[in-house]
Amino acid sequence: MSQIPKADTIWMDGALVDWDKAQVHVLTHALHYGSGVFEGIRAYGTDDGPAVFRLTEHMERFEDSAAMLFMDLGYTVDELVDAVKETIRSNSLPSCYIRPLAFRGYGVMGLDPIPAPVHVVIAAWCWDTYLGQEALSKGVAVGVSSWRQRSVNANPPQIKATANYLNSSLARIEANNHGYAEGIILSEDGKIAEGTGENLFIVKGGVLYTPPVSDGILEGITRDSVMTLARDKGYEVVEASLVRTQLYTADEMFMTGTAAEIVPVHSVDGRVIGTPGPVTMDLQETFFRVVQGKEPDYSAWLEHVNG
């Protein structure tokens, strides 16, 4: 993965600071105990300048993640929405990836996070493709991980917590070591959960299937967008528990995420599913038109940065 391309400023606790000055103390609570929550959001170029895709929904999820950990962000969703727009404007980014992060800061040590101060930062930079240049058009090879998904009663996957990504990192390292672009993580009882940073869909007999939130996944905003677009196009979409072999016999498979966007899967554990299928590519094409403001029916999903 390439280095983060530097932008100019980062929003930190209410003010824009120079990129290089956005620093923390080494005794920051979150560095030691993973006491943080974050978001990943994308802004795309449109005819009316950059527009952030489903920004309010991302900030609502951010607030929900924080609230579940008794973190008071100190800003309303509207204030955070404005802060994201201000960050993009200040960096003059025509399109970008946006990373809001709330974390427990410097002051106390020990496992009780409540006495530690809460900080909120928003950074934005250009993050082109997540799984490689050819992933979007040709698809990727994935493998089922030997690591199991964090349990709903241990590190709840529905909270977008920094600590959850230890699990994702173990699976990503393994996938890379095995020559796969991504790992698919199963729950302890063998159900398909998600990728290390994406949700997952299969297509079988023209119907789309994706695991329900109750199977222990992050409730992805791209997942929701794809379900909505697919239903609006007349496809049937079913939230259903899936097992490993259903991936092997799928007609099509793809993964969804803000960073990854909509990535076709061409093989699972060496079983070839095929070149990117028609349903996958239909949805991917529509998704890219939507985010670029070319589908007026979905303009409510775009939050423009200028004006």
User: Which residue lies nearer to ligand PPE by CB, 31 or 259?
Assistant: 259
Taking the complex as a whole, how short is the minimal distance between the CB of residue 23 and ligand PPE, in angstroms?
Answer: 20
- Here's the x/- map for ligand PPE, 267-306, by CB under 6 A: it reads as ----------------------------------------
Assess whether 160 carries a catalytic annotation.
yes
Interface residues for ligand PPE in 212-271 (CB under 6 A)? 218, 220-223, 256-260
SS (H, E, C) the chain: CCCCCCCCEEEECCEEEEHHHCCCCCCCHHHHHCCEEECCEEEEEECCEEEEECHHHHHHHHHHHHHHCCCCCCCCHHHHHHHHHHHHHHCCCCCEEEEEEEEECCCCCCCCCCCCCEEEEEEEECCCCCCCCCHHHHCEEEEEEEEECCCCCCCCCCCCEHHHHHHHHHHHHHHHHCCCCEEEEECCCCEEEEECCCEEEEEECCEEEECCHHHCCCCCHHHHHHHHHHHHCCCCEEECCCEHHHHHCCCEEEEEECCCEEEEEEEECCEECCCCCHHHHHHHHHHHHHHCCCCHHHHHHEEECCC
Residue 198 engages ligand PPE in binding (rule: CB under 6 A): yes
Residue 186 engages ligand PPE in binding (rule: CB under 6 A): no
Interface residues for ligand PPE in 71-130 (CB under 6 A)? none
Stretch that binds ligand PPE, among 132-140, 196-204, 273-281, 285-293 (CB under 6 A): 196-204
User: Which residue lies nearer to ligand PPE by CB, 39 or 252?
Assistant: 39
Stretch that binds ligand PPE, among 138-146, 192-200, 204-212, 271-279 (CB under 6 A): 192-200
Residue 159 engages ligand PPE in binding (rule: CB under 6 A): no
Taking the complex as a whole, how short is the minimal distance between the CB of residue 52 and ligand PPE, in angstroms?
Answer: 13
From candidates 63, 182, 194, 215, binder to ligand PPE by CB under 6 A: 194
Taking CB atoms, the residue at the shortest distance from ligand PPE is 40
Q: Give the gyration radius of the chain's Cα atoms.
A: 19
Q: Which of 6, 160, 191, 294 is catalytic?
A: 160
Give the C-alpha separation, 42 to 221, whole Å: 11
Interface residues for ligand PPE in 20-59 (CB under 6 A)? 40
User: Which residue lies nearer to ligand PPE by CB, 71 or 226?
Assistant: 226
Residues present in the chain in total: 307
Residues touching ligand PPE: how many (CB under 6 A)? 16
Which residues are known catalytic residues? Answer: 160
For ligand PPE, the binding residues (CB under 6 A) are: 40, 168, 194, 197-199, 218, 220-223, 256-260
